Amino acid sequence: MATPISISLLNVFLLLFSLEKGYAVEENEATKSYLHVVKVNSLLPTTACNHSSSKVSNSLSLEVVHRHGPCIGIVNQEKGAEAPSNMEILLRDQYRVDSIHARLSSRGMFPEKQATLPVQSGASIGAGDYVVTVGLGTPKQEFTLIFDTGSDITWTQCEPCVNSCYKQKEPRLDPSKSTSYKNISCSSALCKLVASGRRQSCSSSTCRYKVQYGDGSYSIGFFAAETLTLSSSNVFENFLFGCGQQNDGLFGQAAGLLGLGRSKLALPSQTAKEYKKLFAYCLPASSSSKGYLSLGGEVSKSVKFTPLSADFDSTPFYGLDITGLSVGGRKLSIDESAFSAGTVIDSGTVITRLPSTAYSELSSAFQNLMTAYPSTSGYSIFDTCYDFSKYDTVRIPKVGVTFKGGVEMDIDVSGILYPVNGLKRVCLAFAGNDDISVFGNVQQRTYQVVYDGAKGRVGFAPGGCS
């Protein structure tokens, strides 16, 4: 007798064979269990913002929007704020992945490899795609900041900007007009939090910080304390941050960055007394919709947790362990050792990277179930692409990721395919990598992703943005 898995796979082949021959196909629950039926136009971004948003009850929620989408408003309408091309997005994404590898290599986790990171005017920040609005200073001034789970320090551009600043949405923070601003002294123990190696950087007696991102963009300035306002009832005095005086790169006119990493300097640690190092977000299915970033509150029973990997405890990153993949309802024959280097879950990486052996199995299985549609040439980091320009509806196999502890995550349909040239070239939204896996933000879409630093775990719940 055939196993349930083989029956499921046979059904998929029969269904796709019928589609290829133009036979009518009856939709049923079994079909829906391993296939997505997708209107092809839904794969493309829209120019109008869907203003409906969601939030988590019993917690502080900040609205999340994509920094190149229509929901961010005037930012992308001003001259010089054009969204980058898909080729630029994917190139910068690779720089970020290379940067993650370099930071882990510096801690002896992986062999060094050559990586050329450009430092150029107009380079987009390798820190993330999604922004929130927070308040700094007294009186409060609001700023649009990119939030990033792979970064520790929060910073924003400041007056008088003695070296160089890029154009941003809001006026820059002026410390001279804030009654709560304080520079950190170079003699303070706090200055060691931003020391490069064992060396502290100082300007006269004032502590300085420097941070550089995966594509070479950077911020340099004064390390300071200021009042952070997340809501009228969530105000944090003496919040440590960077007051940027030299900043290079086109940051999509965001004012800076909100660090959600694992160090003592990151927001979760600085607000641990109030939020217990607990935060969550939901990234919307497209750049034309809104999500949220929540801090503290209750954890829903629908959230399934996987433990943080101890291998990454000394790094800024949240490390997980992938144990398996599935395509079309069938678990792929990949030994768990293929994922032994670990996985970084990262809000700033766009496309998920998998070890080459695992990606090869995933791509092959996906291609075997997509023979009804014409393939086309690859694009940048993608090698599995299709031409949907002559279709109104397509059926694509579901893709699943299993994490340690048996936590299964069915990737939302918006995280399986990535259109790079309209409908003429739509690609499988995964890529291969030399060693570690990086779980990117496209594959996290529509899920509530919960980071519980106090208990050393990360959780997932589907339908998080609804």
Judge whether 346 counts as a catalytic residue. Answer: yes
User: What is d(CA 415, CA 216) in angstroms, rounded to the nearest whole number?
Assistant: 27
Quick one: CA torsion of 415, 446, 397, 33, rounded to 10 degrees? 170
Please give the structure tokens belonging to residue 20.
Answer: 């290829």
Is residue 80 helix, strand or coil?
coil
Q: What b/e string do you get for 451-460 counting C-beta neighbours within 10 Å, with b at 16 or more? A: bbbeeebbbb
Q: d(Cα 395, Cα 320) in Å, to the nearest integer?
A: 31
Which three-class secondary structure state does DSSP give residue 347? coil
Nearest-angstrom CA–CA distance, 188 and 171? 30
Q: Judging by DSSP bridges, how do beta strands 155-157 and 60-66 pair with one another?
A: unpaired
Residues 73, 245 contacting (CB under 8 angstroms): no
CA distance 205 to 356: 50
In angstroms, rounded to a whole number, what is the distance separating the alpha carbons of residues 29 and 43? Answer: 23
Q: Under the phi-then-psi rule, with left for phi > 0, alpha for psi from -120 to 50, and beta for the rest, what region is 443? A: alpha
What whole-number distance in Å separates Cα of residue 167 and Cα of residue 170?
9
Q: Mark whether 335 is an active-site residue.
A: no
Partnered with residue 426 across adjacent β-strands are 386, 419
Tokens encoding 164: 């160089």
Q: Out of 98, 346, 410, 452, which one is annotated catalytic?
A: 346
Report which of 334, 339, 392, 397 is spatially closest to residue 360, judged by C-alpha positions.
334
Structure tokens at 277: 């190092």
> Which residue of the set 148, 248, 410, 412 is catalytic?
148
CA 91 to chain centre: 15
Q: How far is 307 from 459, CA to CA, in rounded Å?
A: 9
Question: Token pair for residue 35?
Answer: 């296939």
Buried b (16+ CB within 10 A) or exposed e, 190-216: bbebbeeeeebbeeeebbbbebbbbbb
**CA nearest neighbour of 315 among 296, 336, 295, 343:** 343
Known catalytic residues? 148, 346
